[in-house]
Structure 1
């Protein structure tokens, strides 16, 4: 099939770039002596998860039970859920997963610990837990060393769970400071963590400099996006994922309308000072996707001069943040060397539970 015949809007992934991105990260982890546990929330495709494992990844990371169930159905048998699970329903589903895969769960409170313990008792096998600590992100994670120790002690004593270590996101200088204070206290109580799991693509290649991380969770690196380029992690040539769109209207000389709006692109904005709009147009660097309705994208082309795109022209758009955009489509197109290869279902998309 000719790629130009595929209707827009549609996401297109270049496999040659994907392969280069995967090898680059795996090579870094191998050199640094860090186990790689990629986060599949970016691609949500079992075939890509299997390729990550083939190249040397320890296992995978999922954010939701629904993602983990899809991956376990595809034969992946080592999964970390990096999100606290709370409630009976979650315990029952986790128990089902634990009967067919090695499961670990991160958490930061006693209720989530009891949920995992209940799942372990139902499954008849221990489930590993990682205690998450916050290093300034202001999301999940305990905020004191005493809380880490308290949860680790509880996990050590509770039936159905096994204390496996610690988790943090994102890895930064503060992560290292916390661990320098925390680890001696844990070791003095016989709670030495077997795993210290850290995450975050933008600073991934500096992980070994910032903290004694033993396992790295990264997701965006497989595709890259406008944010990873702005952070200096990648170049535009490292961006494997682009949404193909069509210009459907030119109502004014300074405005182009594309056939993709908020149902295609995430509302995620770039960090201050790193760029405006909701995506980058490789063929028209001056164009800015400044506004969206559900099905329309309003592109300011005033900086393109006489080279602005015309009605009917197809454009590539690299999203600001690829992970939520990936989740908005049922399938994408794989290309190799720019040539159409196949349609690929995004099997774990839309798994909100």
Structure 2
């Protein structure tokens, strides 16, 4: 920029046809002590052009002062811009490092969550299978109890039917046998009744039934024996009635127990079904959550390398920018030293010339 500024200043200097003054020639000779460099050479060329076009040494001093101030201001501006840009780089790098840290933390958390969900899904699946087996066992138990209950009811109905048949038959036999042993019944009628009773027993109970065998005895013994058999039959009938009543009571208890068991099974089934439904819902939720986390992990595996690359690129850009700044700073410092040296040279020359002029003036005026 300084070299460009030299060219601009050179073009803006007014072109004069007067020759370089002796003072200017002396100044230019002093510039030969400068080291050789593109910048110092252009500076000497600029001063020479200024002097050759009629510029005074004072004007050259002012020109160099402006150039020196401009270079220093350029450095101040560059320092401010550099500080701001470095702060922006630092902020971007800090944000990227925070983002990268968060992404790596999210990835670690995702891996832990994926493992946890996988283990939980296994547990839920095993629990679901257990509940399904329990429901199947419960259904089998219910069917077994229902089948057993149906068989018990069928057997109960047969027993009731048979008991009623025995009781009714005994009641009828006892009634007829009571008439047979009545004193007013003739022997002929008694034998007829006994024969009828024997036939009925044979028909109702079969030839080998204990009651049929017992009734056969009434045709061979006298009235007292028949009366004892009659009492025995009444005992058998009363025992059958008692047994029937006990069977009816037991059936009522069995029916109540069956209803209670069915209610308990239904309650247990509802609870197992509800729990199983909840387990399946949990399984589906966790499975969907696992899919989401797996998708998040895939995205993290994409985002992390991109963020790392962007972070590295930003650091490289910062370093390149800083190195460019240092290069400009070094070059500008070198330019400032050259201009400062030139300024000091011109200043000393001007100061010396002024002192010489003042002395000459005093001599001419007779002041000394």
Structure with the bigger percentage of strand: 1
TM-score band, normalised by shorter chain? under 0.3
Task: Calculate the TM-score normalised by the size of structure 1.
Answer: 0.19
Task: Calculate the TM-score normalised by the size of structure 2.
Answer: 0.18
